[in-house]
């Protein structure tokens, strides 16, 4: 296992190494905030339906941000776009969450944070550009180990909440996030370099009109819509986004709700830690053995694991901590495989010159489909708390089915564009 870890981390260099080694400064505090964000809102008087509307507000902004993000990533360059929107859309809303008093603070923070999707294409481009295609699965695996591995420290958040209660403990967590993300931004400003592709694309767009840029988006969308693999990967990503958004918004509330699992709030932070451990072990032991020609099979396995894990969560009776842990372990293993494999498959389908635009297009369309679901999920939760998770189970089972439509190979990239 140590050899696999050295192999994974030894495969990264340049910008990827800088981004990976500074990512814990974001990942650790943000993972803490996500565990208790919903409970923090409820403690300050926000209803579960309002939580759904706040999520929808954030997604409505994300739609615009994701659509424009590719243009600004190409126009301004990858580094500048990432730095500007990480500062405005991650560091600033942490201050708002820290000072939150009622639903309007959370709405304002969600609105600001939603624009973080402007940096999503830049982030992905910095990870894959100047990286050989055969090493891209390693890159996504390293980032996944770091981001989800931050969950190993989740019990610290539980200790804060146990000692200071939900409101004061959450404010402490957001305060830590302000300082930690600020340090990350300083280090990246100093160490990250613009990619060679980013420099070339930025220079070529210097004299391009907005009308021409819109036409380029149309052309990219038309080409992508003819690629069966990209369409299926888009659907898989959209279903996964729905799963993650519903899980993030309502899982903690369901775990402590007497109509749900009725588990103590201080205990639920142990679950992300156990899940993170499974993700790290799966990534280290499995990902290095994945080959490009077998990506479809691994996607099938990952969606099956996610479906089984969610099925266990849905049928778990109240206070069944053992079954809940099993569900987290199964979904953790599925997540560990799904993310790097799906992202590698997608990156290998897309030509370098179109990458930022297609990241924006697919993110935007996915958010448009996802946004109306969150308020409805809140209403359904009020009626019967388990229903939103049953819907997620149905989406994951649908993911299993559509994986069969993928071609066996992940495709080849040509200089002029994607092979169709």
- Sequential DSSP letters for 269-280: THHHHHHHHHHH
Whole-number average pLDDT of the chain = 83
Residues linked to residue 417 through DSSP beta bridges, in sequence order: 414
Nearest to 249 by CA among 37, 20, 58: 37
Residue 151, pLDDT > 60, answer yes
The CA dihedral of 402, 232, 365, 362, to the nearest 10 degrees, is 150
Three-class secondary structure of residue 417 per DSSP: strand
pLDDT at 327: 93
Token digits for 26?
């974001």
| Residue 370 vs residue 205, higher pLDDT | 370
Place 13 in a pLDDT band, splitting at 50, 70 and 90.
Answer: confident
Radius of gyration of the chain (CA): 21
pLDDT at 414: 35
What average pLDDT does the segment 77-82 reach? 91
What structural domains does the chain harbor? 2-418 (1.20.1250.20)
Residue 420, pLDDT > 50, answer no
Q: Could you tell me how far CA 327 lies from the centroid of its own chain?
A: 20
Residue 372, pLDDT > 90, answer no
pLDDT at 315: 93
Percent of the chain with pLDDT over 70: 89
Chain segment 301-334, per-residue pLDDT in tens: 999 999 999 999 999 998 888 899 899 899 989 9
pLDDT at 96: 96
Residues 255 and 263: beta-carbon distance below 8 Å: yes
Nearest to 251 by CA among 296, 291, 309, 293: 309
Residue 9 neighbours by CB under 8 Å, 6+ apart? 20, 142
What average pLDDT does the segment 86-90 reach? 95
Backbone angles phi, psi at 417, to 5 degrees: 155, -165
Chain segment 188-213, per-residue pLDDT in tens: 999 998 887 777 777 666 556 667 76
Nearest to 177 by CA among 82, 86, 250, 273: 86
What average pLDDT does the segment 121-139 reach? 78
Residue 157, pLDDT > 80, answer yes
pLDDT at 226: 80
Place 382 in a pLDDT band, splitting at 50, 70 and 90.
Answer: confident
Residue 265, pLDDT > 80, answer no
Question: Which of 39-53, 130-144, 286-300 is least confident?
Answer: 130-144
Buried-state track 29-52, b at ≥16 Cβ within 10 A, e below 16: bbbbbbbbbbbbbbbbebebebbb
pTM comes to 0.68
Nearest to 148 by CA among 290, 303, 30: 30
Place 365 in a pLDDT band, splitting at 50, 70 and 90.
Answer: confident
């Amino acid at each position: 296992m140590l050899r696999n870890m050295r192999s994974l981390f030894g495969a990264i260099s340049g910008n990827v190494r800088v981004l990976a080694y500074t990512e814990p400064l974001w990942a650790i505090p943000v993972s803490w905030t996500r565990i208790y964000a919903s409970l923090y809102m409820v403690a300050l008087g926000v209803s579960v339906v309002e939580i759904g509307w706040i999520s929808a507000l954030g997604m409505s902004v994300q739609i615009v941000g994701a659509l424009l993000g590719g243009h600004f990533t190409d126009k301004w360059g990858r580094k500048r776009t990432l730095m500007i929107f990480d500062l405005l859309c991650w560091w600033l809303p942490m201050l708002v969450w820290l000072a939150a008093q009622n639903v309007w603070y959370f709405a304002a923070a969600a609105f600001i944070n939603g624009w973080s999707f402007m940096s999503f294409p830049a982030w992905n481009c910095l990870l894959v550009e100047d990286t050989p295609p055969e090493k891209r699965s390693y890159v996504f695996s390293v980032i996944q180990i770091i981001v989800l591995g931050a969950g190993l420290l989740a019990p610290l958040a539980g200790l804060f909440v146990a000692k200071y209660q939900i409101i004061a403990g959450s404010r402490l967590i957001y305060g830590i996030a302000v300082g930690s993300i600020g340090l990350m931004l300083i280090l990246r400003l100093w160490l990250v370099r613009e990619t060679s592709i980013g420099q070339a694309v930025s220079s070529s767009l210097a004299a391009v009109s907005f009308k021409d840029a819109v036409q380029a988006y149309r052309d990219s969308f038309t080409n992508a819509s003819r690629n069966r693999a990209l369409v299926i990967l888009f659907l898989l990503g959209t279903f996964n986004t729905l799963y993650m958004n519903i899980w993030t918004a309502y899982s903690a509330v369901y775990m402590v709700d007497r109509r749900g699992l009725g588990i103590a709030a201080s205990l639920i932070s142990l679950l992300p830690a156990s899940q993170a451990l499974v993700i790290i072990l799966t990534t280290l032991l499995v990902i290095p053995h994945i080959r490009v020609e077998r990506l479809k099979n691994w996607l099938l396995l990952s969606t099956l694991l996610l479906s089984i894990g969610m099925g266990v969560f849905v049928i778990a009776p109240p206070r069944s901590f053992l079954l809940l842990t099993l569900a987290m372990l199964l979904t953790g293993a599925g997540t560990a495989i799904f993310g790097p494999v799906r992202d590698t498959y997608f990156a290998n389908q897309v030509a370098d010159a179109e990458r930022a635009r297609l990241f924006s297009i697919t993110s935007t369309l996915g958010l448009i489909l996802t946004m109306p679901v969150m308020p409805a999920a809140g209403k359904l939760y009020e009626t019967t708390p388990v229903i939103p998770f049953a819907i997620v189970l149905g989406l994951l089972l649908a993911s299993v089915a559509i994986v069969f439509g993928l071609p066996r190979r992940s495709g080849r990239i040509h200089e002029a564009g994607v092979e169709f």
